[in-house]
Every structure is written in structure tokens, then in C-alpha cells.
Amino acid sequence: MNKSGGSKALLEIEDLSISFGGIMALAGVDLRLEEQEILTVIGPNGSGKTSMFNCISGVYRPNRGKILFEGESLLGLSPDRIARRGIGRTFQNLRLFLHMTVLENLLLGRHVHFRKNPFHAFMRIKREEIRHREVVEEIIDFLDLHAYRKARVADCPYGIQKKVEIGRALALEPKLLLLDEPISGLTAEEKEEAAYRIGEIRGRYRIAVLLVEHDLRIASRVADRMVALDYGRKIAEGTPQEVQSHPEVIRAYVGEE
Amino acid sequence: MERFLLYFISGLAVGSLYALVALGLSLIYRSTRILNFAHGDIASAGAFFALTLMGLKIPFGLVFIMALLFGSLLAMGFYFCILVPAQRREATLLGQIILTLGLGLIIQGLTSRIWGMEPQPFPFPLSDSKVWNIGGIYISELSVGTIAAGLLGSICLYLLVQRTRLGLAMRATSENLQAAQTLGIPTRRILAISWGTAALLGVVAGLFLAPLLLLDPFYMLEPFLKGFAAAILGGLNSLPGAIVGGLILGIAEGLAGGYISIAFKNTLAFLIIIAVLLVRPEGLLGEEFIERV
């Protein structure tokens, strides 16, 4: 397993398994993600992609296996503790604060960086506030959200909402960003833009991105490496070209001949 | 006119207590979708606790604070020791509501066992019979205190929820628990604080109601139901709604009791609620949460 000669990966998953009432959503998946790497997990619906995300971010507790982030286990930690470790995520069916503005949603992403000591917070509240605003303003710039900053999220179009969710996860200043189908449901034009932005995220924030996607074309364009899942098992791993042309992957996507 | 103001103000005083009860109920409902049926009983436990402390000759200010703490700790204990384990075992929402009902019955049993069923007077520093004359209107000292308590409780809650980071975390948690968690908000601790805050508001109402009514294990039942009705009237998930609902209910009761008949007091209040809900089923200031599926 440790081909890289002892150098620690950012995220290491070993033998990850979880079942729901007899259905194995994940059956012994291994995965390794290096710093500043973009890895795409592909697979048909129900192949276990989102279950894997939910295990990493602490929403599900796996039945078996290991999840190490920066060499430390994440198992048994609550989702908020995992977020504090430096993992931000988005959801397939957006989970935004619909009654708040775009700006407020992004500022809430700064919550982990709020000072704990209330006295301290009182003393430095100005400087801290400025820093939070700066980070958020940069994200607004980066995602081109200026026109919507004061709009209630519920009133924003779907494509904007998806961007807000990515922005909110970025506001955490995570070391690892998990994107659950960031492209699905977008128009063709928005898809191109989103794919471009995902590459930019790494360039600008120097973080690793793990994304789940079933649009093969876009997925293979943004990824350094790809992993294919089917029925909770890893069926292929490698460069996007290798994975796309893998006979098992073709069978899973197109069906038996 | 004077009579009107008199009824209006006594209604306002009772209404501000209904508002406090309703605030506690909606605070819990909007963050957890649980109707806390033990809300009144936690308040009466706090009042009985205060009664015992007063028997020990502890100054009232201290008793007041300790009773509030007692109520909050009771509610937080219930959240951590009963609700959280139940949620881990995937209890349904209805199951959790029944748990609060169970807690209420347990508290009623324990208070009956410890303090007895006999109604007891509750010594309170503000008197119901001492009257102030403000511009020709006579207001009892207790009513003034009650209105002040309702006002202060509402303002403090408003500041907490709208103006602090804790409040922001509370709003985020109540709007979308999972999203709040992924942003690193410790939702469990936040919810425990919500339970504690709600109970605290309930105990404040309970302590101000105790001198008006006599203290027995069931004395909070009617105020609880009124607070519940007030919360529905205002819109269960709206905090300003709870205040508006409580005040309207109290004033309607006061006027109906004064002009028509004391016996008609509850009837009119609930007629108003039925009429409002027929027109606006979500309550006066309520808003249905929409979720994208």
C-alpha cells in the first residue's frame, strides 16, 4: 500500500465498509489522496460515492475500516469536529441557509475561526471581523457573486446556490474540500465554468479536492486521478484516460454487451 | 376609558408571561421540531425549588437566579441524557415528543411526592395588592414587575439570537442542522443551550405566575396551554410571533374577562385563535420552511 515510501498522504482510507439493512453501500474501499491533488470518484447512481463522503465527513459511522486525515483517525468524530480539522464539504442536494443572504451564508463558513474566549473576542473583535470579511470578499470575487451578495439564498437561481455552497465550504479555509456532484443540475455553460473553477480552487487556495461526479466527460477533465466505484467496490483507479477506458467501468456505465 | 386601560394592562401583564412561555416553546420547536410538553412542568419544578430555597432564608435575588439555573440544568440534562441517546437510536420525532410528555409526568409525580398536592402560597417580593397610580390608572406592583420581566426576557432573547455569534450558530442550527455541522458548529452543544435558554424563560414565567396562582404541582398546566396557543397564534417557528401571540392572547383575555364575563375569558381567546388560523394557518408571523428535495 505504502508505495510512496512512508510519506504521509493527506487522506488515507482503508477497507472502508458500511451497510444499510443488508445492502453493502461500501464494501472495503481503499483510497489515498495527496496534498493539493484533485481526485474524482465516479460511478453510477447507488455505487457508494455519497456514502463515502458521508463517512469521511462524519455523517455516517462505517462498520469497518480506517479513515486517516493528516495521519490521524477521523472515526467516531462528530461532523463539526471533522470540519474543525480542516475538511469542508458541499452536498448533492444543497444544504444552504435559505432564509439568510449570500453574504451571511459565507460568513457562517467562518464560524470555526471565531475566537472561543469571549473576552478575547471582545478585545480583538474589530481586527478579527476585518479578517473574516476579507476572506469572504475574496471568495465573492473568486466565485463572481457580487450581484447576489445581499440576496436571500432562497431567491437565487440554482447555479448561484451551488456556487454559494462551494464558497461557504471555502470560507472554512479547509485543507481538503469534498464536492458532492458540483456539476449536476447545471446548464452546459455553467458546467464549463464550474469545471474551470474547480481547477482554480487548487491553484488559488492550495488545497486538495475530492469530488464525486457522474458526468464522465467533465470529471475526467478536472481530475489528476480518478477512482471508479460500482456496488460499493473500487473497480478501477488511475489517470482519467485509464479509468475511462477500463472495461469494468464501461460495463458499469453502459451495461453488459 | 379607564376601565379599558385597566383591563388592557392586566391583560398585558398576563400576556407577557404567555409570551415568555411561548418563546421557550418556539425556541425548541424551530430548532428541533419538538413540542416540549414538559415546558410547564420544568417551570413548576423551578418554582418549587425556589420555594424550598426561600424556606432556607436565602435572599430572593439569589433564589431567583438559582431557580433559573435549576430549570436550565434540568432541561439540558434531559436533552443530553434522554433525547440524545434516543436520537442515536433513531427515535422518531413523535417518539421524542412523547419523551417530553413523559418528563412532564415524572416531574409532576416527583413534585407531588416531595412538596405535596396542597396548594401553597408563594412569597414574592412584589405584591399583588400594593397599587401604583400612574396617570390615573391603578396598576399593581406585581403587574408592573411582570410586564418588565416579559419585556426584559424578550429583549435579552432577541439580543442573544440576533446579535451574538452564539445566536448566529443557534439560527444556523435551527435552519439547517447538517449544514451547520459541516461548518464546524457544535450543534449538540448549541441545542443544549437552546433547551437551557427555553427552560430559563419558562421558569421566569413560572416564578411570576406563582404569586398570582397558588403553587401546586399542576399550576403551570393552564399557562403552558395558553403559551402553546400563543405560539401557534404567532406562528410556531417565529420568535417575534411568540411575543405577539402571547400579548394578543393576554389582552384578549383581559378585555373579555372585564367586559363580558370572567367565564368567557378563555372562550374568546380561543375564538380569536381559531379565526386567525382559518385565515393564516401558518400563524401571524410564521413562515413555512421550504426544503428542496
Average pLDDT for runs of 10 along chain A of length 257: 60 94 90 94 88 93 94 94 95 91 92 68 68 92 94 94 95 95 89 91 94 84 92 92 89 72
Residues of chain A neighbouring B183 (CB-CB closer than 8 A): 80, 83, 108-109, 111-112, 168, 172
Per-residue confidence band for B188, with pLDDT thresholds at 50, 70 and 90: very high
Residues of chain B numbered 158-187 and touching chain A (CB < 8 Å): 165, 168-169, 171-172, 175-176, 178-187
Give me the pLDDT at residue A117, please. 55
Cβ contact B43:B71 at 8 Å: yes
Give me the pLDDT at residue A1, please. 44
User: Which residue type does A94 have?
Assistant: L
Q: Which residue range forms the structural domain that includes residue B141? A: 2-279
Cβ contact A170:A177 at 8 Å: yes
Task: Assess if residue B149 is contained within a domain.
Answer: yes
Cβ contact A193:A144 at 8 Å: no
Our CA-based measurement puts residue B99 at a distance from the nearest CA of chain A, in whole angstroms, of: 24
d(CA B282, CA A147) in angstroms, rounded, equals 32
Residue B244's nearest CA partner among B146, B150, B171, B134 is: B150
The pLDDT mean for chain A works out to 88
Give me the pLDDT at residue A214, please. 77
Give me the pLDDT at residue A121, please. 52
Cβ contact A19:A67 at 8 Å: no
Residue B228: CB atoms within 10 Å: 23
Q: What share of chain B in percent tops pLDDT 90?
A: 72
Contacts of A24 (CB under 8 A, 6+ apart): A17, A18, A231, A232
Asked if this assembly's ipTM is beyond 0.90, the reply is: no
Task: Assess if residue B293 is contained within a domain.
Answer: no
pTM for the whole thing? 0.86
Say whether B182 and A99 touch across the interface (CB within 8 A). Answer: no
Higher pLDDT, B272 or A118: B272
User: Which residue type does A106 have?
Assistant: L
Give me the pLDDT at residue B288, please. 61
Task: Assess if residue B289 is contained within a domain.
Answer: no
Q: Which of B182, B190, B288 to mutate to test the interface with A (most CBs of A within 10 A)?
A: B182
Task: Assess if residue B285 is contained within a domain.
Answer: no
> Phi then psi for B232, rounded to 5 degrees?
-65, -45
Cβ-nearest to A84 among B168, B184, B188: B184
Give me the pLDDT at residue B291, please. 44
Count: domains in chain B? 1
Cα B224 to chain center, whole Å? 7
Say whether B183 and A108 touch across the interface (CB within 8 A). Answer: yes
Task: Assess if residue B61 is contained within a domain.
Answer: yes
Cell for A60? Answer: 455516517
The tens digit of pLDDT for each residue in A153-208 reads 999 999 999 999 999 999 999 999 999 999 888 998 999 899 999 999 999 999 99
The tens digit of pLDDT for each residue in B157-180 reads 999 998 888 898 999 999 999 999
Q: Is B14 on the interface with A (CB under 8 A)?
A: no
Give me the pLDDT at residue A124, please. 59
The tens digit of pLDDT for each residue in B114-162 reads 999 999 999 888 888 888 887 777 888 999 999 999 999 999 999 999 8
Cβ contact B231:B245 at 8 Å: yes
Torsion of CA B287, B288, B291, B293, to 10 degrees: -150
d(CA B112, CA A137) in angstroms, rounded, equals 59
Residue ranges per structural domain of chain A: 1-86+210-257
Give me the pLDDT at residue B129, please. 80
Asked if CATH classification 2.60.120.260 holds for the domain at A1-86+210-257, the reply, yes or no, is no
Q: For position B264, which CATH number holds?
A: 1.10.3470
Cβ contact A78:A97 at 8 Å: no
Say whether A93 and B293 touch across the interface (CB within 8 A). Answer: yes
Our CA-based measurement puts residue B168 at a distance from the nearest CA of chain A, in whole angstroms, of: 8
The residue of chain A with its CA nearest to that of B174 is: A97
The pLDDT mean for chain B works out to 91
Task: Assess if residue B292 is contained within a domain.
Answer: no
The tens digit of pLDDT for each residue in B10-33 reads 899 999 999 999 999 999 999 999
Residues of chain B neighbouring A88 (CB-CB closer than 8 A): 182
Give me the pLDDT at residue B230, please. 95
Give me the pLDDT at residue A2, please. 44
Say whether B179 and A97 touch across the interface (CB within 8 A). Answer: yes
